[in-house]
Chain A
Amino acid sequence: MSDNRMNNRIKHPHSKVNLNKPLSFTFDGKSYQGFAGDTLASALLANGVKVVARSFKYGRPRGIIGAGAEEPNALVQIDTGARTTPDLKATQVELYEGLVAGRTSGWPSLAFDLKSVGGKFSRFMPAGFYYKTFKAPVKMWPIYENIIRRAAGYGKSPIEADTETYDHQHHHVDLLVVGGGATGLLAALLAGRSGVKVLLVDDQSELGGYLLSMPNVKIGGLTAQNWSANIIAELASLPNVTILTRTTAFALHDMNMIQAVELLQDHLPHSARNATQRRERMHRIRATKVVLAAGAFERPLVFGNNDLPGIMTASALTTYINRYGVACGKNAVIMTSNDLAYQGAVDLAAAGVKVTIVDTREHINPEWANRTNKLGIKVYSGYGVSEAIGTSAVQGVKLVKLGALKNIVTGSGPDISCDVLASSGGLSPTVHLFCHDGGRPKWDEARLAFVVSANGRAKDGIFCVGAITGVFALQEGLAKTRITLAEVLTDLDKTIDDSGLALETDEIAVTPARHIFHVPDGKDVHGTIFTRPKAFVDFQNDVAVSDIQLAVRENYRSIEHIKRYTALGFGTDQGKLSNVNGFAIAAEALGKTIPEVGTTTYRPAYTPVSFGALAGAHVGITFEPRRYTAMQATHEAYGAEFEDVGQWIRPWYFAKPGEDIHAAVNRECLATRNSVGMLDASTLGKIDIRGKDVREFLNRIYANAWTQLAVGKCRYGLMLDEAGMVMDDGVTACITDTHFLMTTTSGGAARVMTWLEKWHQTEWPELEVYMTSVTDHWTTAALVGPKSRDVLAKLCTDIDLSKDAFKFMDWRDGTVAGVPARVFRISFSGELAYEVNVDASYGNYVWNELMKAGKEFDITPYGTETMHVLRAEKGFIIVGQDTDGSVTPFDLDMAWAVGMKKPYSFLGKRSLARSDTSRTDRKQLVGLLPEDPNVVLKEGAQLINSSDITPPVPMLGHVTSSYYSAFLGRSIAMGFVIDGIKRRDEEGRNIVYAWAEGKAVKVKIVSSVFVDAEGARHNV
């Protein structure tokens, strides 16, 4: 069936396509055949497929324009299901057997796009159209957006989870070469020979760059192909050189950190893809020196109807014939302002295509005149194509005679029929990476290009070679690369070795180009809106010359503003073809020169990068560090549900069959208060602090006093930041007079450790203290409840556990289940409780022994939820839940934990006396009892004075903690209320309402100690 389709494939002696390896693929539901070595674009062109997309705004049919990353039109959807990828450029998609490609635009179809009906009225959709048209009413915007999005096209994101994997790789090299064309290869070789560590990256499947498109040129007497093959072979033999192909350097950051993404498997048929390999890899390359050999893109000339399918750049036309053996037509017109298009024209003619050249210059290069003449190529010099003719593909051109000095129409020219039209407006260097980190290109009027100089950023270690420097001739480029590399290698204390490298070529010397970007059509600017064909600058965003002119008429002056008003240079191609034309056309409209207008800002990424590549290994189970205690497997076996506490994974509750979280937590709470429960408290931060000044250090760090704490005792401490706000809390034990063990919150451990070190290192180096984090060393099992002593006594006989020998807030060293242990008699529940600390290697063993010993008391392991309920019943705060960085100890009614009389002005002390922290109408933490004991308040609910929620409603504070207390048989809560402590004690003022989810609930302000205010339960 593909037989009756047009076949543009020719047998080309240098083609990189293997005609013995046919590949079948589909595009937009139709089957086609291509060959190994094809891109999707070259295969479609070989099959005569012209329309591959519909334009963004007007729905106009569009074809393939370029041959690489510059392509603005041919955005395709590759693959299906979880693997589907939207908006890939067909020019960069390598063909493989069974490839499924779809269109990303064209609604309802490529053949008929509804927008094209609107396109007939395109004068109603000028620049700023969306801003002007869809601005009101606001409520309608989601509807407009839906329709516009659907009509505009662009591909579909995959909705299934990605089945493939990605990773990152870090490199540290002496020299990174970006670009594997002629000059990049030479740079890599010269550097490689010197022995420095070299990395060469190139975005294509094959090295060679534009040499692949100009196989007939000879370098040092060798064909381009043989010349590069020799260099590639030598590079491969050098152990200090690494080459990455299919790798696009997309960003250059501070101090030469280059990010590049490598496509590892997308070019392979599904059956050949390896599940153990990555789909893409992001390389993060730190390079001492960088050589940018990124080349250039050819920009097209701008003329009427220049978006018709079948119109492309001259270099793309050349690439398709020479590299892929695809003649994009039988009858080609090539318009040019320079010499660069001639080689392709000659190659095309030699392959049997009828070629006509339209050269905008009065005088053409005599050598090229000679060669074209020999091949029977007709050359119109001093003419331009003012308009392409055709409906869904180009069928011909209208020529106009151009002024010799000014870009005006001085006469008419013939109409010529053609089936492919190419143009060359000169080259636009790929200066993107050079500019990502602050570099700026300069306009070179002789080259008609924004260029960078070879050593433009040498002080940063960034050098440039080849077309990016405006050196477009190969021989000159190679010679200058040699000079630049000598400089680079000198900087690296190496010398250059260019033995055996002949760099002269058989190129034809270049003659000057014409300064022309937009070919005039001679028509009156006004009054021809309906008849004048659109001349597009930016194809992807449907920005025409008239849009830029309109923006200028509407008084946009900065090119950055013109860009944003017209959308010039946005999109997935980022204006690679359009920007310079746009700048030039804006300059003309503004009456300025191109350098006066300048460029827009080049920002990463150079080409689109997938989220998968950016995420790398930071997905799934390796997304974030998951810290586990020694008992994780035991907790899992016991049916724990887990919750994240910082990076820690902690048991949340242990549900028995049939229990939900409420049932489980109620059971755990009651078991603990009535018999004994056990909590894995290993995640608490622990810091071992030693030295003769430990007490003074703690006096400065904590709000309360540490001078009197006796050996064998523990004390609760409140840590403030310098603004006087509570930042952490925990119990610290005095081990000896010069040795303390501090505990911190689970989430705050690292922060506190850094905080202590910072103050010690920067402000108080004179204090003799050393700190070591010992969090991971200790496993902590908190044995809680009236039977905890009985359980511990079964396993620990070397500590006298009696009430008076081992008091509340004491600690003792001893042995538990045969393992050395440090036991703290402290309580976060108000119950008799012991925290048993052992070397974490024994943690799981000791936990299980405690469980066995507690069996007769129905010992109940509990998780963080029950811990929260038990502590809230006692009014104990959780830093980070009941505090948020704006809460002082006084706001918490915890003046008892602040030692205002300590001699040294401890951290945060002065701030407690600031006018803001000492004002009396601050929000204060209080207990809250809902009027209905079965209503559990929403945490975060606003507290207000009345159930009337007619605005404005003064907000008094909010609920921070709220639970159902099985022990009390009712709901309890804590929260902040303005002036809450006073209101609590004043009958009549102690009622507030908690408002959440559309409901206001009556609440009484009470003491936050709901259970055992006198402390009888732990004092046994």
Chain B
Amino acid sequence: MFNSSQSNQTSQFKPVMQSPLHPFGLAAKQEKVNGTKGVWANEVPLLGYISLRGNVQNAAFINAVNSALGISLPTQPCSMLDSSFGSILWLSTDEWLLICPREQRATLQKLLETALQGIHSQVFDNSGGFTSVILQGKNASDVLHHCTVYDLSALQAGKVVGTTFGKVSLFLQQDKNGYRLVFRRSFADYIWRYLERSALPYGFGIAQLNDER
């Protein structure tokens, strides 16, 4: 009886998603990146985030993940991989974060859960809990050096590091035009304001999002 009413129910509601940085109204402020500002940033909102944990010593786990995702799970410390669905970030020796377009999240989760049936692992849809910010411009590194203790000269492409940002932590990776910051929803306000403040001397613009994901 409950299943039958479900279709009626979804039609009467119009669920709306809001990203963590929604209150800043970034979409309305974005502009094409130009030379007037030293730093450009924007939130890449509402991506899919899947937390994955498992044992790399366990061949069954590795094989299951690799075949489900069609990739080779990055096991090198601080490495990440871009793939057709998005990217997969090494967070720890037994922990990864998959980042993908929202609409692919359910499929990926299902694929992983199916493949990992009976294998000690953890797959969790953490999409409500994270967001990403891109950071570009000629002073992007300068701004980050005000915010993090990490030595950015050690952050090459294909690398992701967990480090500090102000008084909180986040994941930092190099992006094609600069950097990408991945962090928890509840820290969004603090991180964004800290970024805005740190970027003030260089000029801070909201970058137009292209097909960022």
Interface residues of A, Cβ cutoff 8 Å to B = 165, 167-172, 197, 276-278, 284, 286, 617-618, 621-622, 624-630, 632-633, 648, 688, 690-692, 768, 770-772, 774-779, 795, 797-800, 814-815, 817-819, 838-846, 849
Contact = CB atoms under 8 A, between A and B. Distances in A.
A818 B14 contact: yes
Contact of A630 (B8, B46, B185): B185
Contacts of B185: 630, 776-777, 840
Nearest to B53: A770
A728 B93 CA distance: 28
Contacts of B149: 170, 284
Given A798-B6, A841-B127, A617 B197 contact: yes
Top 4 nearest A-B pairs by Cβ distance?
Answer: A818-B13, A776-B129, A777-B129, A840-B128
Contacts of B121: 690, 770
Nearest to B46: A841
A842 B154 CA distance: 38
Determine which residue in A277, A278, A772, A844 has the highest number of CB atoms from chain B within 10 A of its CB, and name it.
A772
B23 interface: yes
A627 B186 contact: yes
Contact of B15 (A172, A624, A777, A842): A842
B126 interface: yes
Given A624-B167, A627-B190, A797-B6, 14 more contacts: A276-B201, A277-B201, A286-B151, A622-B194, A627-B189, A632-B23, A690-B122, A774-B51, A777-B129, A817-B15, A841-B46, A842-B15, A845-B17, A845-B18
B15 A628 contact: no
Given A167-B146, A617-B166, A774 B189 contact: no
A842 B95 CA distance: 26
Nearest to A768: B120
A688 B148 CA distance: 29
Contacts of A840: 20, 128-129, 185
Contacts of A692: 120
> How extensive is the interface on chain B, given as a class?
35 or more
Contacts, number: 163
Interface of B: 2-3, 5-6, 8-10, 12-20, 22-23, 46, 51, 53-54, 94-95, 120-122, 124-130, 142, 145-146, 148-151, 153-154, 166-168, 184-190, 193-194, 197-198, 200-201, 203
Nearest to B183: A776
B97 to A, nearest CB: 10
A165 B196 CA distance: 13
Given A772-B124, A779-B128, A799-B2, A818 B186 contact: no
Nearest to A281: B146
B15 to A, nearest CB: 5
A617 B17 contact: no
7 contacts: A776-B184, A776-B185, A777-B126, A795-B13, A797-B2, A798-B2, A841-B127
A815 B194 CA distance: 37
A703 B188 CA distance: 35
Given A770-B122, A777-B126, A841-B127, A622 B193 contact: yes
Contacts of A277: 201
Given A797-B6, A839-B127, A849-B13, A171 B145 contact: yes
A841 B17 contact: yes
A617 B167 CA distance: 10
B122 A688 contact: yes
Contact of B128 (A286, A621, A777, A795): A777
B15 A819 contact: yes
Contacts of A771: 122
Given A167-B146, A617-B197, A797 B5 contact: yes
Contacts of B22: 633
Nearest to A849: B13
Contacts of B129: 774-778, 840
Contacts of A799: 2
Determine which residue in B9, B20, B125 has the highest number of CB atoms from chain A within 10 A of its CB, and name it.
B9
